[in-house]
Chain A
Amino acid sequence: MIVTLRRSISVTLVLGAALALVMTASLCFGTIPIDPGEILRALVWNLTGRGESSIRDTIIISIRLPRVLLAALVGGALSVAGSIFQALLRNPLADPYILGVSSGSAVGAVLAMMLGLGAMSLGLPLASFAGALGTVLLVFNVGRMGRRVHTNTLLLAGVIINAFFGAVLMFLISISRHEALHTIVFWLMGDFSFADFAGVTLIFPYVVTGISLAYLLARRLNLLVAGEDEAIQLGVDVERVKKSAYVLGSLITAAAVSVCGLIGFVGLMIPHMVRLVLGPDHRLLIPASCLWGAAFLVICDTLARTILAPIELPVGVITSAFGAPFFIYLLKTRSI
């Protein structure tokens, strides 16, 4: 499939409209149904600061809105990170977690919770971000030999460090107190009930910068997928592309994981879904994964907070439960 500017723009517009629709719908669904007009009024009230606030306005602006924004940001982030890692490692099973970023940030987060930092609004994301960055540096230094980055060594280092940190995590859980346990378990399953505007503003710059830079890397990622030797012949500095892709993907993942825990499946599945429908060109794959991943996670979170309301489910349960069958359906009906 040839990617023309026109095609890129139209795909982006269609998916962007779909995302806007999904986000608006998500604002409407919840414990009480709210109609779109009321949401518009609440948004206007919030932006202009005029008029009386009702309980419904509070619910829309202070509870649902940060949650929907955060779900969209994280969904987009994980999906773009997934497409970057799949290109970098040339491995269809690569996802943001395979390089150990997730377990590293989980160790950071669990340590923070055990030290009681979970009660501070920014302690948890900052600790898990630090954990993720530490892991990224570790994996990168193991996977690098001299100036060259060997993707196989990188992958192997990631898997090993992932497994090791998994053990550290289990150790921390087994010695932790009951109270921290709830938080840890929900965090490990991915959960948006902690969402607030602080989290949104915390990760927004990282995610948006990361995704924009990833988009600029799209053409070179295409060449990387086609083969390193060919890319070198075409004058691409392959080592630099690999390093940038690795750092970008890890940063985006760390930012996402730090505010909402481990949300499985999205980073693995969304790029594949998009590739099956729109083809493998990263100039289209990256923006489309971002938008569709965002919409997908907003849908999943809406289900997580409404299916058994007032009981809340961790969103990770939903992403896997609904994502996997859909993924299998796509595999069966479309040939790769």
Chain B
Amino acid sequence: MARKGEGRIRAGGLFLVLGALLFGAAHAAAGTRVFTDALGRAVTIAYPPERIVSLAPAITETLFALGLKDEIAGVTRFSNFPPAAVEKPRVGSYVNLNIEAIVSLKPDLILATAAGNPQIQARKLQDMGFPVYVVYPKDTDGVLATIRRIAEIVGRSERGGAIVRDMRERIERISHRVRGLNRPRVFFQIGRDPIFTVSRGSFADNLISLAGGDNIAKDARIPYPSYNLEEVILKAPEVIIVSSMYVDTDHSGWLEEWKRWDVLPAVKDNRLYTIDSDLVDRPSVRIVVGLEKMARMIHPEAFPPEPSDQNKTSRQYPGFTATGEPPLRPDEGKILGRE
């Protein structure tokens, strides 16, 4: 399925190149190109863009990974990765944008997400003459395709391709290792009062199944349901993963609370974990790290701490150096921190 999706994108890219050639005569002087976004809209973009405003933390991460440190003109409130992102001007939170702040940055490209940015505000920016390119990844394959698309419209196709290849390789290694193993029942908690979990349609649910687990809440009808405690107890999860929405908040208390229910296999076997939620609910390059961490929690037996795994931490985040610093630009030599 992943292959097919990629094929489609390649075909789309070809179409766009043809389109760009056709429009080339009219737009060559202005230095613009036309790209089709995730909503199927044709967006005319200054190519390559020089003042980009990112309307979601995941987009910010992707832009930094592509080496666009200087081109990023503004980011949203919770853009906290890489550390350099924190110093960029803020344009509101991604569900509550500050139009004035965005306009005052005079962007030549606004990157928006259909999964969260208010449509009204995106349309308003569009009507004011700012090019708004919308992405809409829905699962891990969608994340890879989105990184490719963003790389393409900002003129970093090569680097984007390298990042995506790295990510795909790492995803495939996980799925290879967990193939044929039994699937432990996993409860993934994102809220405590009341209990919230993830179901089909969420990134975390997708990661659980890629990591070889069985999400006990996968059949709830909405992606992020508030969940019955009774149901958790009955479905007897073997692994409980608490996603801490903020790294600086201590969530060990949540795990302590589960220990009260010693009828649960996860409690009996002491398989209670926390994970940084930025790694599992942001459709960015770091999602592959979230997947690797989850796979270790769900199948510790398949991922012994080998020396080779230790080495891999040097390229923990695709596109970033080991310390999470913004990467070198492609013309500065090394593309990825790969061995």
Contacts and interface: CB of A to CB of B under 8 A. Distances in A.
A182 B196 contact: yes
A179 B245 contact: yes
A311 B221 CA distance: 8
Contacts, number: 87
Contacts of B226: 186, 193, 311-313
A118 interface: yes
A53 B227 CA distance: 24
Interface residues of B, number: 29
B253 interface: yes
B227 A311 contact: yes
Nearest to B216: A310
A51 B245 CA distance: 41
Interface in B44-61: none
Contacts of B227: 310-312
Nearest to B245: A179
A300 B261 CA distance: 27
A116 B252 CA distance: 13
Interface in A159-183: 177-179, 182-183
B213 to A, nearest CB: 18
Nearest to B217: A310
A186 B194 contact: yes
Nearest to A178: B245
A213 interface: no
A63 B221 contact: no
A30 interface: yes
A335 interface: no
B193 A118 contact: yes
B194 A55 contact: no
A301 interface: no
A311 B225 contact: yes
A16 B307 CA distance: 69
Given A58-B261, A119-B253, A179-B246, A309 B193 contact: no
Nearest to A193: B194
A275 interface: no
A191 interface: yes
B329 to A, nearest CB: 33
| Highest count of chain A CB atoms <10 Å: which of B233, B253, B261 | B233
B103 interface: no
Interface string A181-203: 01100110001011000000000
A170 B205 CA distance: 33
A32 interface: yes
B230 A64 contact: yes
A31 interface: yes
B236 interface: yes
Nearest to B95: A178
B228 interface: yes
B229 A55 contact: no
B220 A310 contact: yes
Contacts of B228: 30-31, 193, 305, 309-312
Contacts of B263: 53, 55, 58
Contact of A32 (B192, B234, B245): B234
B230 A311 contact: no
A55 B191 contact: no
A328 interface: no
Given A308-B221, A309-B228, A312-B227, A183 B193 contact: yes
A45 B193 CA distance: 29
A59 interface: yes
B231 interface: yes
A55 B231 CA distance: 11
Contacts of B222: 311
B233 A58 contact: yes
10 A-B pairs with the lowest CB-CB distances in the bound complex, closest first = A310-B231, A193-B194, A179-B245, A311-B225, A310-B228, A183-B193, A31-B230, A312-B226, A182-B191, A31-B231
Given A118-B192, A305-B228, 7 more contacts: A31-B230, A59-B230, A63-B229, A179-B246, A182-B196, A310-B228, A311-B221
17 contacts: A31-B234, A55-B236, A55-B263, A63-B229, A63-B233, A119-B253, A120-B253, A177-B246, A179-B245, A179-B246, A179-B249, A182-B196, A193-B226, A309-B231, A311-B220, A311-B227, A312-B228
